[in-house]
Structure 1
Amino acid sequence: MFRCGPCPYNLHIGKGSAEDQLKHPAGCPTRPGWQKAIGGNMLAHRATDSRLAQARSLLELGRAIPAGLLAAPIAASWRRCLDAGLDPHHPPNVGRIEQHELERHRAAHETARRLARAEMQALHRQLGRDSFVLAFADPDGVLIDSLVSEGRRGDIEAFGIVPGTVWEESLVGTNALGTASASRQRIAVRGAEHFFTHHQRLSCIAAPIFLPDRTLAGVLDATCFSEAYAPNARAIVALAAAEIEARLFRARLAGKRLLAIHGRAEFLDTAYAGLLALDAADRVVAANDQARFILAGLPEPIGATFGALFAPAELRPGAAGTLTDRAGRLFHARLDQPETARPRKIAPTQGVPAADAPVAEDPAARAALDMAARAAARGMPVLIRGATGTGKEVAARYAHRASGRSGRFVAVNCAAIPPDLIAAELFGHVEGAFTGARRGGAAGLAVEADGGTLFLDEIGDLPLPLQAALLRFLDDFSVRPVGGGMPRLVDVLLLTATNVDLGEAVAAGRFRADLYYRLAIAEITLPALRERSDIRPLAAHLLEQVAPGTRLEPAAASRLARHDFPGNVRELRNVLARAALTGEKVIGEETIAALLPAETAAPAAAGQSVLRDVQARRIEAALRAAGGNISRAARALGVSRNTIYRAIGRTPPTAAG
């Protein structure tokens, strides 16, 4: 039985009456001709497989391969491999450089890697976490970053797809990463199209990424086992590569006037826009491929003046307008004329002094804070998740100090600002931009954070139109005031926080997926206070802050540790502040008990159940902090791996042999 989703019928293929078949939409298996088309596709695939098998036999026999047996890019790659002296019978090991060399390659291509990482996060979700591994290689073929699910890591690493490996085509044969680099074009290498047979279980898609001067910046790759290959993945990878290329263009030419053009206004902020960089004499100094495509039939853009390409027009900086090219075609356009970024001295990261560091003896809390600090030190956006009162702003301030930035920490509560004023508060406004605008305008909070950190709390409450504006800001960190005016480049570390499940918000259409992936390059989750094992030292630290010289009796600390604290750290601080009002230098259990709900006696079985719940929450938090790695979570908790496996209901793997 074939179930047709869009149709009201459930029919055996080819069985319905002609009248029934005509009621089905195009593409339904019950329409006339569908079986014939499917049969034709299957025959075509079989013919392709037959030709590929024939070509491989000839390759392994050392004979010439006639034209037409292989796709032209694959045939050209095989010829290059043979010219390089590779023998299909003797596959080499994939080379791997030392860690210090890998760090040198990463540093040399940090901007491209950072932009690629954001797209890899998005691709991993789009293509399927357990289906594809994402990789980014530098122009030398060195894989400098990868993204793979824990469940697939062992299988993928067996093929050598790990950071530090070298995938140059002349060394390891036809492979998507190396072949895209050698040919400077997008390519898919499926199964037996690989030069060496030990890669035939894999299907790979790769797209080269170019700098504005057309030199290679790197290669983006998506690899899966051949049975999981999805044809639409080629288009998705190509679009991701175009996004990276567009952002590299803007980053490399941030000091120039940038002209974006497209036939539709909504595409001016996407990878589909044509981008032209203009110097002070209105001469084009750089153009992306999309601009060349859009302006087909006109002179080569680079070196041409604005007047040679477009009719005279007035474009307000930062505002959308229209242009007519010399062929008479009308385009939507926007001219960005940012202020040249001032060089900034960023103090080297020295870590955060112990006196300024939050108390976090709990393994999950400590791991989350450490990850935030490492990401901030590298200038990466950090998304801080956690329930209300778990200390998200404390974590953000800690990350700011760890970043070594000398500028201000500017905190913005997105839920506390009226929706129609958020853009003006963040990005500033010109005088008269709206009713109630300040005389002389305002620079905006993003400008106040220049050289420092911009912390957007309650990011999940940001309205959708503002999400688009924030995404545009993240493209080039150019602040465009409401009402026009000159854009200004800023240098900020962006930290965000929410107690909303953004994944669920994306699925419900309340939050943009592309913005979520940009914000969550580094994502941490702060555990609820009831899940933490360090309530006693945390309470002592908070009490010292609200009442220096005051301490808790051990029994009082134990009473606090037994409380559930639905309000988390904020509630704990408030309880201690009220307790300190008694004036006692040593706060006893009676004082604390009077400020908390009465404890109720529970049967032993219920007590054991609560204990199990607490243990399960701690294990869950440790696993979350360890990225799902059983061994790391076990080490953090000081228990065996078998304990973790029992807690999560999985059978421990048995030793081989």
Structure 2
Amino acid sequence: MGFSDHIREIERVGQGSNTGRDAVVVESWRRCLETYQLDPSKAREAVIVSETRLREHRQQAEDLVHIARSGLERLYRQVAEQNYVLLLSDREGVTVEFLGDPSFNNNLRKAGLYLGSEWSEPRAGTCAVGACITTGEALTIHQTDHFDITHTPLSCTAAPIYDTHGALTAVLDISLLSSPILKASQNMARHLVSSTVRRIELANLMANSRHDLVLRFAGAPEFLDVDPEAAIAVDGVGRITGMTHGGARLLATSRGLDWRRPELLIGQPVADFFEAGLDELASLTRASLPQDRRIAVRDGSFLYAHAIEPQQRLAGGAPARVVRTSPAIDRLGGSVPAIDGLRRKIAKLAPGRLPILLQGETGTGKEHLARIVHEVSGLPGRFVAVNCAAIPEQLIESELFGHVPGAFTGALARGRKGLVEEAEGGTLFLDEIGDMPFATQSRLLRVLAEGEVLPVGGSAPRKVDFRVVSASHRALADMVAAGTFRADLYYRLNAAVLTLPPLAERDDFSWLLDRLLEKHGGGRPLRLSAAARALILNHRWPGNIRELDNAIAFAAALCEDGWIEVSDLPDHISLSPSKPGEDAPDAEVRGVLAACKGNVSEAARRLGIDRTTLHRRMRRLGIDRPH
């Protein structure tokens, strides 16, 4: 098929004609035309992200790549002789692992079959990785199935990898630079990729569910112990804590639910899905023959199950109950009640589409939290951050909504897509939303209400679909009362509110401090002297985590042999007074507590501080309450 024929076919599909292409290809072409506004007549060079951005994506995917590596290498050995290359892409379409013949490196890089290539649909048009991210299904995009003429020589087959909470986390793809004409030639490739993905998900579930009961399932007893089709993890009280994608489909089918809504499955009693209780399921171990491990599913079907007991058990024989979290949620903070509560909220809220409002002082880590929400959500699109306070008022509308050619003096001649459209299929993070001009608030409200964006100077609105997370250090409710923030926009943004405490009130301060020491160590151990640590623990930190991060970076640059002394800290910290009432020495605090016989209220009164401050001081300094 020639260049012009390919363009004409795409245009006919856009007009509603049926050209005989697979439905998944037709739907993708229409997304490219209508949603992403891509032009099939303009060839696009393959996009290879910068080394800095690639490093960030690879660090985020590090745990999965480690678990998946043996499966990836095994698959590559199976297909390398047929000249396939293997790509593992993250949920944003960036290739974080690549296996291919190095003698073809130049051609592979030019084609985008290379480490760091970006294969999201908005960026690359119809392609296997991008379509897989969008649909959540295994598929092949063969030669002229591709939207962009640059990619039509390629044949690419991909399958999605889901995390243990049911969110799409990566895509495994094998591709050919040139291939036979018939698309059916890639059926075996799809089988191989899907089988590898199933094994990777099972390995990931096992790695993340060591303290839970794991149940593996197969339709035939002969394959139960060697190649299970699905698996789930169950905690000590019988609630589902994790699953492979096959497990999600099994659970959803048993109750007539949608597997794309994992929040309906995770956390639910396992007995809701099977005609068996926890004890009966736990007894289905290798102590009995596979054919004897037959169980009934709630939809009337039967399966064979293999139970793998938890590695650790509590006294009395009950499995230890451990709250499983994704690696993204683990980055939120230390294991203290307030942060654990925030984790539980994120685990439930992130997979949905509710708008989330983040409240907290400047520097408390609101963008960090927003990125975690995006990662846990499993949304296929990008995370696009907008600092509403940093964009000049006269430019904010064109930055957010884009502009058509020549819309205003200084506008780009070819027009520009706005940040709202850049977030298509992903998360739009509006930082410091309280600083958005009132007129722009009105336009944003229309975008959220109608799901359409109208570029500056344009007449035809464009459909958009994204999840909005906003943040402000201001009390938006007070701004609404004062008439400086639209009430209708406020109620659209605050469907769920998460609050980040100031650094001075975080009980996991030491955990945060240790993470920053690791971050700025540059591969070497970075340690604090006792005096430097005490000074850091007692500083007010008005700039919160951002100020602490800068202080550790400063000290790391000055210190000798990785040992930070007081003299290495910024002057404003080493010279600053302690928090009010917190300048009492450790020994004095102990003495007052002992004199008060452990009565914290009385001790706080004598020290001239409130009870909360004294409790925090005791925790930080490791002072137990006297008995």
Q: Normalising by the residue count of structure 1, what TM-score does the alignment of the two structures yield? A: 0.41
Q: Looking at CA atoms only, which structure, 1 or 2, has the larger radius of gyration?
A: 1
Q: Normalising by the residue count of structure 2, what TM-score does the alignment of the two structures yield? A: 0.43
